[in-house]
Amino acid sequence: MRPKISIIGAGMVGAQAAYVAAGKELGDIVLVDVVEGVPQGKGLDLYEATPLFDVDVNVIGSNDYASIKGSDVVIVTAGVPRKSGMSRDELLSINAKIVSDISKQIVTYAPKCILIIVTNPLDAMVYVAKKVTKFPRERVFGMAGVLDSTRFRTFIADELKVSVEDVTAFVLGGHGDTMVPLARYSTVAGIPITELIPKNRLDQIIDRVRNGGGEIVNLLKTGSAFYAPGAAVIEMAEAVLKDKKRVLPCSVFLEGEYGVKELPIGVPVKLGAKGMEQVMEITLNAEEKKLFQKTVDAVKNLIHDTDKIM
């Protein structure tokens, strides 16, 4: 029997995630959305494309949450996307209710799944999902650092005119303007980028990483990023479904690691069949600790606002 992947939200991110998952032949896919016809149409279109990929997976669309029953992985992308001039935090009120309602359905129909949140503001939505589902932290986490790191990798490779395959990039912290791209831990073929890129230029690249989502929102005017987020969340799902033990940055609840408790923060973790199997702690220097504390404080404020809403 093939694994079952359910994607809640058949918008641009959800549809792209389904496309990537089908192309990788990761399992059967269910697209769920409240808009009648949209998940069915996109699901059928993708299903009809599977012969072109030479893959054997089933893809269906549904407006009924019962269709996610027995899912191994559930990905939540549903919510209002950012618009030009809007911060992730401004999405908090409406998306908290959406994710809360979805989480209740997941508990009913897929109580044993591993749950990956994509909806923004990401760290707050991970908090909402865990609070509602009461899943252990190993089974509910968010896609943030994978996307932020891939943007960092892209900009580094472009700056140095090298293959992205040789670039490793590392981003800590909340999925927002206070994220912490760690240049000291980012490399090209093992060489720290601090040895290859002048500090003033590196600072500019880091600023672009922090504002990567906003840059795309401003260009699109009426939408937000979807190709990279869709691919990023499937990298996480693949690590779980194939028990790959990948070390990837994800928003997870910390229980004392990095000096943080009961707060979802982006840190490197090991992803495998059990979900989040280990938090990987690294040593931060004084400046990195200062920046990390800033992002922790920002997420704390966001969670405080979330508690007031819920």
Whole-number Å distance between alpha carbons of 196 and 157: 11
Compute the chain's Rg from CA coordinates: 19
Q: Give the three-state DSSP class for 16.
A: helix
- Among 82, 88, 153, 175, the active-site one is 175
Q: Are 307 and 299 in contact (CB under 8 A)?
A: no
Q: Are 74 and 106 in contact (CB under 8 A)?
A: yes
Question: Given phi > 0 = left and psi -120 to 50 = alpha, else beta, which region is 114?
Answer: beta
Whole-number Å distance between alpha carbons of 204 and 207: 5
Active site residue 304: no
Residue 67's Cβ-side half-sphere holds a number of Cα atoms within 13 Å equal to 19
Which amino acids are annotated catalytic?
Answer: 175
